[in-house]
Amino acid sequence: MDITFDTPPALLADRFKTLRYDEDAKAVVVLDRRKYPFQTEFVTLRTVEEVAVAIEDMTVQGGPPLAYVAGLGLAMAARDLDASPTRQAVYLEQVAKRLLATRPTADDLNHIIPAALAVAHDALRENRDPFRATLDYVNSEIERGNTVSRLCGQQAARLVNDGDQILTHCIAGAALCWMLWTAKQQGKNITLVGCETRPYFQGARLTAASATEMGIPFKLITDGMSAHLMSVGKLDKFICAADRVTLDGHITNKIGTLQHAISAHHFGKPFYVLGYDGPDPKTATGADIPIEWRKPDEIFYARGETGTVRTAIHGIDGYYPAFDITPPHLISAICTDRGIFAPNNISAYFDEESKT
C-alpha cells in the first residue's frame, strides 16, 4: 500500500517521539541512535547523570536533539527540588554546568541550557513550579526548532538543481531532510551521496535511512572518496549542517567536513551550509569555537563502541577531535530560516529586514 505524506516521513517526530519527557515514567525517553536503524530501542533516563552520560556516549546525536535532551534533563532536576530556595538555585546551576560539559562544541546546547536555567530561576523567585516552567520552555524550543528546520530546508532547496548528486557528511538533520523533500516535491531528481562518517557511521546508518525513507536515491562512500569523485564529475555540490556558525562566517561540523570543503573549493564545486537559525551571537570567529576531543579508543572500534568489532591493533594511541572548523572563504553560502547569506555577511541574519 502506498502512503502519501505531506511532511517528510523522516521528520514525523510527533508520530515517533524520538525524544520526550514521559509524564507517566517521570523520565526522559530517547531513541538510541547508536543502534538505529538496525534496532529501534528507546532508553529511559531517570537521573540527570543518566541524561549527561547518554549525551556523552552518543545515545543521542545531533546538535538540536542533544540540546533538547539536556534541557529535559534540567527540567527533571527542577522537578525533584526539595531544599531551600537558595540551595535549589545552587543545585540547578551545578546541574546546568554538568550538562553543558557533555558536548562543548554544540551551539544549541549552549543556548538552551542557560535559557532553561534562567526560566527555572525565575519560577523559583516567583513561587511558580520550576519543573513545569522549564519543561514548557524546552518543549517550546523543540517546536521552534521544527519550524526553523523546515524554513531552512525550504530555503536550501532553491540551491538544488534537477539531476544533482549532492555530497553530505554526518547525520541527516531535519533541515537536510526538508531540503531533500522540498526539492523532490518540486520535481527535481536528485541523488544524495553520503560519507560513512566514522567512527559512529552516522552517514551509513542515519542519513542513509532518512534518505531511503523519503524515496531519495542514496549512494554510500567512505570518508576519503570525495575529492576523487569531484575530480571525475560524480559530485555536483557539497551540503551539510553546522554545529556552530560564527559571526564572521566560520562553521564547525563533524570532523571531515573541512577536507570535503577544501576539495569542493579546489574542483569548483559549491559548498552550502545549513545554518538553521543563524550564527551564534556569542561566537565571533573560528578561534572562539571549543573543539571537543573524544577518547581515542572510539576510533579503534566499528561504530565507536567497545564491544563491537575492533578494527585497530592493540598497543597504539590515536587522535579523535569530534569536529573541525571550515573558514568562510571555502563556503559558497549559508542557508538559514531567514534566507541565504554569504558567509562574510552572515551577521546580517540579525538585521531587522532579514526577519521578515
How far lies 180's CA from each of 19, 69, 227, 352, in Å? 23, 26, 23, 29
User: What pLDDT, on the 0 to 100 scale, is given for residue 8?
Assistant: 67
Task: For cell 542514496, name the residue.
Answer: 218
Distance of CA 147 to the CA centre of its chain: 15
Cell numbers at residue 93, please?
546551576
Q: What's the order of all strands across the beta sheet hosting 19-22?
A: 19-22, 27-31, 42-45
Task: For cell 534541557, name the residue.
Answer: 71
Cell numbers at residue 35, please?
543502534
User: What pLDDT, on the 0 to 100 scale, is given for residue 353?
Assistant: 63
Tens of pLDDT along the chain (356 residues) come to: 233 345 665 554 444 479 999 999 999 999 999 999 999 999 999 999 999 999 999 999 999 999 999 999 999 999 988 777 778 989 999 999 999 999 999 899 999 999 999 999 999 999 999 999 999 999 999 999 999 999 999 999 999 999 999 999 998 799 999 999 999 999 999 999 999 999 999 999 999 999 999 999 999 999 999 999 999 999 999 999 999 999 999 999 999 999 999 999 999 999 999 999 999 999 999 999 999 999 999 999 988 877 788 999 999 999 999 999 999 999 999 999 999 999 999 999 999 766 65
Angle in degrees, CA 317, 323, 328, rounded to 5:
140
The CATH 1.20.120.420 portion of the chain extends over 9-149
Main-chain dihedrals φ then ψ at residue 57, nearest 5 degrees: -90, 10
Catalytic residue among 32, 243, 248, 277: 243
ω into residue 37 within 30 of 0, thus cis?
Answer: yes
* Residue 43: how many other CB atoms lie within 10 Å: 17
The rounded distance, in Å, linking the Cα atoms of 77 and 119 is 13
Asked if residue 252 lies in contact with residue 261, where contact means CB atoms within 8 angstroms, the answer is no
Nearest Cα to 143, choosing from 245, 50, 71?
A: 71
Instruction: Give the chain as a 3 state SS string.
Output: CCCCCCCCHHHCHHHHCCEEEECCCCEEEEECCCCCCCCCCEEEECCHHHHHHHHHCCCCCCHHHHHHHHHHHHHHHHHCCCCCHHHHHHHHHHHHHHHHCCCCCCHHHHHHHHHHHHHHHHHHHCCCCHHHHHHHHHHHHHHHHHHHHHHHHHHHHHHCCCCCEEEECCCCCHHHHHHHHHHHHCCCCCEEEEECCCCCCHHHHHHHHHHHHCCCCEEEECCCCHHHHHHCCCCCEEEEECCEECCCCCEEEECCHHHHHHHHHHCCCCEEEECCCCCCCCCCCHHHCCCCECCHHHHHEHHHCECECECCCCCCCCCCECEEEECHHHCCEEEECCEEECHHHHHHHHCHHHHC
* Residue 219: how many other CB atoms lie within 10 Å: 15
pTM of the model: 0.93
* Residue 47: how many other CB atoms lie within 10 Å: 14
User: What pLDDT, on the 0 to 100 scale, is given for residue 3?
Assistant: 34
User: What pLDDT, on the 0 to 100 scale, is given for residue 84?
Assistant: 73
Angle in degrees, CA 190, 193, 197, rounded to 5:
150
Please confirm, yes or no, whether 243 is among the known catalytic residues.
Answer: yes
The CATH 3.40.50.10470 portion of the chain extends over 158-355
Asked if residue 58 lies in contact with residue 171, where contact means CB atoms within 8 angstroms, the answer is no
CATH T-level fold of 158-355 = Rossmann fold (3.40.50)
Which amino acid type is present at position 36?
Y
Asked if residue 289 lies in contact with residue 325, where contact means CB atoms within 8 angstroms, the answer is yes
The rounded distance, in Å, linking the Cα atoms of 317 and 324 is 20
The rounded distance, in Å, linking the Cα atoms of 78 and 326 is 38
User: What pLDDT, on the 0 to 100 scale, is given for residue 1?
Assistant: 26
Indicate the CATH number for domain 9-149.
Answer: 1.20.120.420
User: What pLDDT, on the 0 to 100 scale, is given for residue 302?
Assistant: 87
Cα atoms in the Cβ-side hemisphere of radius 13 Å centred on 238: 28
